Amino acid sequence: MPNSASSPSQPSPAEQLARDISSLQSDVSFLHSQVLLSSTRDAIEDLETLVRGLPQRVHAIRTRKYAFGKDLENHSQDLNRRWPAVRSSVQSQIEIQASQLNQGISQVELQMNRLVGMRSNVALGRQNLPRVQSEVANLKSKVSAAESSLRGMYDAFEDEIRAFVDQVGKVEWTMGQVDEACFSLTPTEAPVMAVKAVWYQDQREEKEDPDGVLYLTDQRLIFEQKEEIATKKVLFITTERQKVQKLLFEVPLASIQEIKGSKQGLFHNEDHIEMNCGAGAPFTWAKLHIFDQDCNEWAGMVHKARSGEFDHERAIPVDQAAAEKVKDVPTICPNCGGNLDQKILRGMDSISCAYCGTVIRI
């Protein structure tokens, strides 16, 4: 049986002309804001806010005893010194381009008003419609070209600003995590970076693997479990949760024999790190899935910390008295004669013999 439902009727020529004119009017209305180059003006204001706030943000992380990145202050000041010239140049061009585009919108408006007056004369309206459509499309292209040209005047500077802001932001987050940590650093141990991570002890990551924060200091790699876990479920729906925060492992950097990053997942967009460890570590190998930071950059930071390269980037010097203590630590237990294999961290005030339990003051 044929379908008796009637298909929508085609609009009449007059109705179609009215629709086309209405669509053009919407485009022209939107162009009124575009020709002012508002998006570029907003971008410049956003960068102004970022640049002006950098010195205070750097000062704040120094106040929280972030020891590294000795060039952070100079870099933030340099960005503030260079920014006014970039801003002035871009703003000057914005006014020039906006003035030219505003003349274009005025011409389009005149043609648009004439076209609206032709609604009652369908033949004449259809004849003039393509020309107005072309003018609108041409003005859109000019706006796009102007925005692209203006962006080219500051995009390299913006990339530099945002890279610096990202660096500072990671440090701010790191120091916040250190403040909340359930463990303590030694008096002269300094945090380098922290990252959200999952520690998995088998070859594959499982849902039950602990979720938390991986910390890199100038002396250790530390993983703290920090998550909410379900304690009660009703019909597979979690009804009660408990926050779990505890230290799961700490590895002296001297015990890390090898560390490498790898991109995993279907689209190779997951960042993982794997490390092999020797004496002094609680395991021989470990794997972690890290989030929102690059695995290869993390492996590189661990290598730098192991080799002591971060010491060259210090803004806050190491307590030399504490450093000298480490050099004088005995290697043989004075009580039982056993080897003291414990890795010594700068700032420790005692070590324990693994054989007899004797505590040796440093």
The answer, yes or no, to whether residue 301 has pLDDT greater than 60, is: yes
Tens digits of per-residue pLDDT, 305-344? 999 899 999 999 887 665 565 556 677 777 777 776 655 5
322: helix, coil or strand? helix
CB 248 within 8 A of CB 212: yes
**pTM for the whole thing?**
0.80
Q: What percent of the chain has pLDDT over 90?
A: 71
Strands (E), the chain: 191-200, 211-217, 220-234, 237-252, 256-264, 270-277, 285-291, 350-352, 359-361
Other Cβ atoms less than 10 A from the Cβ of 203: the count is 6
Mean pLDDT is lowest, of 157-166, 237-246, 257-266, for: 237-246
Q: Is 108 exposed, middle or buried (0-12, 13-18, 19+ CB in 10 A)?
A: buried
Supply the CATH classification number for the domain 191-313: 2.30.29.30
- Report phi then psi at 13, rounded to 5: -55, -40
pLDDT of residue 337: 74
What are the extents of the domains in the chain?
13-180, 191-313, 319-362
Q: CA Rg, the chain, in Å?
A: 32
pLDDT of residue 86: 97
Enumerate residues 6+ apart whose C-beta is below 8 A from 334.
Answer: 358, 360
Please, how many CA atoms are within 13 Å of residue 175, restricted to the half-sphere of its CB?
16
Closest of 83, 60, 53, 58 to residue 72, by C-alpha: 58
pLDDT of residue 1: 47
pLDDT of residue 332: 79
| Mean pLDDT (the chain, rounded) | 89
Which residue type sits at 7?
S
pLDDT of residue 342: 57
pLDDT of residue 7: 47
Nearest-angstrom CA–CA distance, 131 and 337: 97
CB 342 within 8 A of CB 332: no
Tens digits of per-residue pLDDT, 182-224? 999 988 899 999 999 999 988 889 989 999 999 999 999 999 9
Of 114-128, 293-307, 327-341, the range with the highest mean pLDDT is 293-307
Other Cβ atoms less than 10 A from the Cβ of 129: the count is 17
The pLDDT of 154-171, averaged and rounded, is: 97
- Can you tell me which residue has the tokens 């990671």? 170
End-to-end CA distance of the chain, in Å?
97
Tens digits of per-residue pLDDT, 59-79? 999 999 999 999 999 999 999
The pLDDT of 98-107, averaged and rounded, is: 94
Other Cβ atoms less than 10 A from the Cβ of 130: the count is 10
